[in-house]
Amino acid sequence: MADRLNGTRILILETREEAQFSKLLAEQGAEVVQCPMFTIQDAPDPAPVEAWIHRAIDKPFDDLVLMTGEGLRRIMKLARTRGLDQAFVAALAKSRKFTRGPKPGRALREIALEAQQTTEKPTTEGVIEMLGKLDLKGHRLGLQLYPDKDHSALTGALAAQGAEVDTVLPYVYDSKAADANIIAAIDEMAEGRIDSIALTNLGQVRRLIEAAKAHGSEAKLRAGFERTLIASVGPAVSGELAAHGLRTDVSPADEAFFMRPLISAMAAALAERQPRTAS
C-alpha cells in the first residue's frame, strides 16, 4: 500500500544500496534523510585483486565464499576493465558458491550465477557454521573478504577443516569523509526531527557510536535514540544495538531480513504512534 509513510522523516545509513532503499521509502511517501556511514573505494592497489582473478581463471576454485555483494561487484568491475570478465564468470560457474546472507546472492544473479547455499544468519559466525558442516579437506577455497573486520576466526576455521584458503580484499572504506554528515544526523535525531532510523547492518551501529565518541556527541546520540523509532533489519543488528545498551523497536517478522519487510514494519509501528508535531 503506497503512502504509508506520508509525513515521516526516515534516517538511513545505507551505503551500498542507498539509492534502492531511498527509492523504496520515497515510494511510501517518506522524506528520506541520507547519511552513508562511509564511502567505498576500490582497493588502492589492484594488483593483488587481479592476481586473484587470474588464479580463479587458471584453476577454478573448488569453493567460493562471498561475504558481500559489493565485493563481487568490485571484482567484476576490475575483471571487465582487464577483459577477463567472461573467463572469470565461466570459472566461477565451476565452483560451489556460498554467500553470507542474501546480498552476495543478488550480486551472483547479476552475472547469471546462483549460490548453492546461503547462511541462515548473515554473519561471519553463520558462515563458519554453514561451512563447518562440509568436507573441505584438500579444497581450494576462494574467500572474498571485506574491510575493517578481523577475519582470522573464519580463515582459521577453514584452514582447520583442511581447506587451502585464497583470500581477496577488493575494496576499502573511507570513514572520515562521512563524519560531518554523521554528526549532523545525530543532531537531527536529538532535536526530534527524525521519526525513525533504519539500520541495515551492524557496522552502522558501530560507526554511529565511534563517530559520536570521537566528536564528543555520544550523550546526544543516546538522547536521539530515545526520541526516535529504532528499526533493525534483523538479529545481527539488534544484537549489536543490545551490546551497546540500545533497544530495537521494530524488526521484520518471520526472518524476512530485507528492505521491503523492514519498511513495512516501520510503517506499521509509526502508524501506531501519535503524529509528531514539527518543531
Instruction: Summarize pLDDT for 167-218 with one digit per residue, the tens.
Output: 999 999 887 778 888 999 999 999 999 999 999 888 899 999 999 999 999 9
CATH class of 41-173: alpha beta
Q: What does pTM read for this prediction? A: 0.66
Q: Which residues contact 196 (CB under 8 A, 6 or more apart)?
A: 8, 10, 11, 228, 229, 230, 231, 266, 269, 270
C-alpha cell at 267: 510503517
Confidence at 254, pLDDT banded by 50, 70, 90? low
Q: What is the mean pLDDT of residues 247-259?
A: 80
Sign, Cα dihedral of 187, 4, 16, 243: positive
Q: Facing residues of 140 across strands?
A: 164
Q: Pinpoint the residues of the chain covered by CATH 3.40.50.10090.
A: 9-38+175-272, 41-173
Instruction: Determine contact, residues 184/5, Cβ cutoff 8 Å.
Output: no
Q: Facing residues of 229 across strands?
A: 196
Q: Which residues contact 72 (CB under 8 A, 6 or more apart)?
A: 66, 104, 107, 108, 111, 144
C-alpha cell at 240: 549489536
- Does residue 257 surpass a pLDDT of 60? no
How many CB atoms neighbour CB 184 within 10 A? 11
Confidence at 279, pLDDT banded by 50, 70, 90? very low
Nearest of 157, 164, 146, 190 to residue 16 by alpha carbon: 146
Architecture of the 9-38+175-272 domain:
3-Layer(aba) Sandwich (3.40)
Q: Facing residues of 96 across strands?
A: 63
Average of per-residue pLDDT values in the chain: 91
